Amino acid sequence: MGELKTVLIPDIGDFSDVPVVEVFVQNGNHVNAEDPLIALESDKATIDIPAPFTGKIREIRVKPGDKVSEGSPIAIIEIADSGGNTDTESVLRKPDSTEKNKRSEEATSEKAPQVITHAAQTESNENVIKAEVKQIYPASPPIQPAPADVAATKAHAGPSVRRFARELGVNLDLIIGSGPKHRILKEDVQAFVKAGLSRVCVNGKSAPVETGLNLLPWPQVDFARHGPVEIKSLSRIKQIAGANLHRNWVMIPHVTQFDEADITDLEALRKESNTAEKQNAVKLTLLSFLMKALIASLKKFPEFNASLDKNANGETNLIIKRYYHIGFAVDTVNGLVVPVIRDVDQKGVVAIARELSELSALARENKLKPEQMQGAGFTISSLGGIGGTAFTPIINAPEVAILGVSKANYKPVYRDGEFVPRLVLPLSLSYDHRVIDGAAAARFTSHLAEVLTDMRLALL
Ligand code: COA
C-alpha cells in the first residue's frame, strides 16, 4: 500500500463555512493531480477543489451539504507509486497550524492544491467519453450549441461540469440535474451523452445521428406591444390532452393515408332506420355504422388494433388485441375527451348508437368516469358533423392508428360510362409507421371503404 495523505481545503480567500455542493469522486477512484475532487458554492462563486497529487481515493471525508473552511479535510488519497510507509497518524489528525505548515512544506515537494474557479483541468478518465464522442461525431458534435452558447447557459452547474459539457458540446439547458436543487453533476452530463451514444449504432457501426430535438428556445414575445391582448388560462382537460398530444406527435412517426368511401346506400339505410327506430328514441348516427364497419377491417388487419411493448429484455413486441374497444373523440366546451365503447364487435348498431349518445352526453357534462375513457385499441375522430375535407389526426398512444372522418358530400362519380351523384365520405387514417407499412394502410382504408359502401360485408 502506498502512502496515505489527507487532502485539506486550501486557502480559499475570505470564505469560510462554504457548502460542499458536489463530490466528484468515490472511494477507490483513481485521480490525477488537479482532477477536481469537490465543488464548493458560496454566494459569490463556485469553486472546484482539485486533487493535489495523483493516487487512489481511500476515504472521502465530506458529502454534499457539509460546510468547510480552509484546512477542513476532504479526502484521504493513497499516493501512486509511493513505496513509503503508511502514516495513518498524521493523516487522520485534525488540521491545525502545524498541519498548515506541513502542507506548505508538502507544496514544495508535491504539487500544491490550487483553487480552480474557471481554470482548466488536466486529463482524466473523462477522456474516454470524449474520445468516444469524437470517434462517433468526428465533424460536428450531436448535442450542439457553440461553446459560447454553452458558456452562456443559466443551467445550475459548477465550472468543471460546464467545462466538461463544453468540451463534449453538450447543452446544459437540456439536462435536469440530479444534484441538490437540480444542480447538474458530471454524471448527469455523462448519462446524457451515453443516452445519445446508445442510439447511434446502425448495423453494428457508429453513425452520426441527431440524438435530441435540439430545438431553439420558444420565442419570447411581449404581445401587448403589438396591440390589445386578453389572457385566458387553458382548461385542465386541454392541459392534460395537450401534454399527451405533444408526446404522441413527437414520439410516433405518423403517416396519414387518405381515402374515400361511397356511403350513398349506407346513408339511405341510416335514414330509413332512423324512421323505424324513432319509437326507441335512439338516433342512428353515421358514427355507429362506422364503428361496426371498422370492426370488420380490424379483424382483417389485426396489427391496427395493437400496441408496441418492450419486454424485460428490452425487445420490442407487438401486442395484438383480441378485444375491440373503440375510442371516439368528443368535442366539449372544455376540450377534447375520448370515451371508449367496449366490445363493439359484440354489439349491434342500435346498441352502439345508444352508447355513443350516452357517453358523448356524459363527456359534455364532464361526468365521464376514468374507466369510461380507458382500454381503447383504436380511436375514431369524426369531424363530419362540422365540416372539412381531410385532416391528420394524432394517434392516441399506445394505440398505433386513428381514423379521422370528415364531412360526406355529394360528388360526381364516374360509373358505367356516366357521372352519377354519390355521397362520398373522406377518410384520414394516421398510423404509426414503425408498425404499419404504407401498403397495409392503403389496404386497410380500401377495405373499410368497401365495407361502408356495402355494409353486408360487415357480417362476413
Ligand atoms: N358527414 C356528413 N354529415 C355528418 C357526418 C359526416 N361524416 N357525421 C355526422 N354528420 C351529421 C350527422 O348525420 C348529423 O346530422 P343529422 O342531425 O341531420 O343526422 C350531424 O352531422 C351531427 O352529428 P353528431 O350529432 O355530431 O353525431 P355524430 O355521431 O356524427 O358525432 C361526436 C358524435 C361525439 C363524435 C361529435 O358530436 C363530435 O364531438 N365530434 C367532434 C370530434 C372532434 O372534435 N374530433 C377532433 C379531434 S382532433
Total count of residues recorded for the chain: 460
What's the pLDDT at 200?
47
Q: Which of 285, 337, 368, 452 to mutate to test the pocket of ligand 1 (most atoms within 8 A of CB)?
A: 285
Which one of 41-55, 81-95, 249-263 scores highest in mean pLDDT? Answer: 249-263
User: Which residue's CA lies nearest to atom 20 of ligand 1?
Assistant: 385
pLDDT at 459 over 90: no
- Give 337 or 85, the one with higher predicted confidence: 337
Residue 133 alpha carbon to ligand 1 centre in Å: 54
For residues 254 and 369, membership in a common domain is answered with: yes
Highest mean pLDDT among 21-30, 115-124, 170-179: 21-30
Nearest CA to ligand 1 atom 34: 330
pLDDT digits (tens, 9 = 90+) for 432-454: 999 999 999 999 999 999 999 99
Residue 274 Cα: closest atom of ligand 1? 19
**CA 429 to ligand 1 centroid distance, Å:** 17
Ligand 1 atom closest to 391 (CA): 48
Amino acid at 402: I
Does residue 218 sit within a domain?
no
Residue 225 lies in a domain: no
Same domain, 200 and 156: yes
Of 177, 211, 245, the last residue of a domain is 211
Name the nearest CA neighbour of 52 among 102, 1, 127: 102
Q: Would 224 be classed as within a structural domain?
A: no
- Cβ atoms of 256 and 395 within 8 Å: the answer is no
Same domain, 188 and 243: no
Ligand 1 close to Cβ of residue 336 (< 6 A) = yes
Are 287 and 425 members of one domain?
Answer: yes
Is residue 226 among the annotated active site residues?
no
Identify the top-confidence range among 202-216, 272-286, 427-441: 427-441
Task: Let me know whether 300 and 410 are in one domain.
Answer: yes
| Residue that wins the pLDDT comparison between 351 and 116 | 351
| Average pLDDT over every residue of 378-393 | 97
Residue nearest to atom 38 of ligand 1 (CA): 330
Write out the residue range of the structural domain in which residue 180 sits.
134-211
Q: What's the pLDDT at 97?
A: 39
Whether the CB of 381 sits within 6 Å of ligand 1: yes
| Average model confidence (pLDDT) across the chain | 81
Q: Counting atoms of ligand 1 from 1, which one is nearest the CA of 407?
A: 1
- Assign residue 202 the CATH number of its domain: 4.10.320.10
**pLDDT score at 207:** 54
| Domain identity same for 273 and 318 | yes
Is a pLDDT exceeding 80 seen at residue 305? yes
Most confident of 1-15, 103-117, 316-330: 316-330
For the cut 90, the answer to whether the pLDDT of residue 195 exceeds it is no
Nearest atom (ligand 1) to Cα of 426: 7
117 and 150 share one domain: no
In a domain, 264, yes or no: yes
pLDDT digit string (tens) for 327-348? 999 999 988 999 999 999 999 9
User: Is any atom of ligand 1 closer than 6 Å to the C-beta of 407?
Assistant: yes
The pLDDT of residue 41: 77
Domain boundary among 101, 125, 149: 125
The three state secondary structure string of 51-89 is: CCCCEEEEEECCCCCCEECCCCEEEEEEECCCCCCCCHH
> Within this chain, do residues 148 and 120 fall inside the same structural domain, yes or no?
no
Which residue owns the Cα nearest ligand 1 atom 21? 385
pLDDT of res. 91: 33
> What cell does 117 get?
474557479
Q: Which of 30, 118, 254, 433 is catalytic?
A: 433
Please state the rounded mean pLDDT for residues 90-100: 36
Q: Which of 23, 20, 22 is nearest to 42 (CA)?
A: 20
What is the predicted pLDDT for the residue at 173? 76
Residue 42 CB contacts under 8 Å (≥ 6 apart), including other chains: 15, 18, 19
Q: What is the DSSP string of 144-194?
A: ---HHHHHH----B-HHHHHHHHHHT--GGG----SGGGPBPHHHHHHHHH
Taking CA atoms only, the protein residue closest to ligand 1 atom 12 is 385
* Mean pLDDT across 168-181: 78
Do 203 and 241 lie in a common domain? Answer: no
Q: How confident is the model at residue 154 (pLDDT cuts 50, 70, 90)?
A: low
Q: Report whether 298 contacts 287 (CB < 8 A).
A: no
Question: Do 317 and 177 share a structural domain?
Answer: no
pLDDT at 317: 96
CATH of residue 48's domain is: 2.40.50.100
Q: How many distinct structural domains can be found in the chain?
A: 3
Average pLDDT over every residue of 146-165: 61
Position 381 scores a pLDDT of 98
**Is the model's pLDDT at 99 over the cut of 50?**
no
Q: What is the CATH number of the domain that holds 372?
A: 3.30.559.10
| Ligand 1 pocket member 360 (CB < 6 A) | yes
Is there a single domain that holds both residue 256 and residue 368? yes
Please answer whether residues 258 and 426 qualify as being in contact, where contact means their C-beta atoms are separated by less than 8 angstroms.
yes
| Alpha-carbon distances, residue 386 vs 18, 79, 354, 389 (angstroms) | 65, 78, 21, 10
Cβ contact 21:46 at 8 Å = yes
Cβ of 408 less than 6 Å from ligand 1: yes
